[in-house]
Amino acid sequence: MSDSGQVDYGVPARAVGWLAFAGTLLVISGAFKILDALWAFKYDDEVSDEVQTVLFEGDLASWGWVWLAVGVVLILAGIAVVSGSEWARWFGIFVAAVAAISFLPWIYYQPLWTILSVTLAMLVIYALATYGGRRMPGTPAGA
């Protein structure tokens, strides 16, 4: 217990920063995926023959639905991560991994953007795996 009467969970400042980073990045990534979905729905009929991916070939509407679902789930995961619960930690790890996998088919057309997106998803996974979840009272900060 601290002097103010609140339970001290022993969470170091570094953990708070990483968890804030993970939650914020999940929400922002989700918003951008929703914008990607809207773009895909708008330009579905205007896609050139050069843009074909491994999955769904040139069908941007299919990608739009995938991105919309991933975006909504990313936002929900980001909000849940801020709560600090253990289930939110694992949900965030799973969602970040799914997001990273969903970025990969576009590596042929946007290699730099894809590598950046996957790297940020891996940093979210690192943050949640290392610092996520609640700590028991009296647990040392490094445990």
Residue 4 CB neighbours (<10 A): 6
Could you read off the pLDDT of 49-98 as tens digits, one per residue?
A: 555 554 556 677 888 898 899 899 999 999 999 887 888 899 999 999 98
The model carries a pTM of: 0.76
Q: What is the pLDDT of residues 10-46, one digit of tens each?
A: 567 788 889 999 999 999 999 998 998 998 888 776 6
Nearest to 59 by CA among 34, 38, 41: 41
Question: How many alpha carbons lie under 13 Å from residue 25 in its C-beta half-sphere?
Answer: 25
| pLDDT score for 141 | 45
One-letter amino acid at 133 equals: G
| Confidence (pLDDT) at 3 | 53
Spatial distance between the Cα atoms of 21 and 43, rounded to a whole number of angstroms: 32
- The mean pLDDT value for 113-136 works out to 86
Amino acid 82: pLDDT: 87
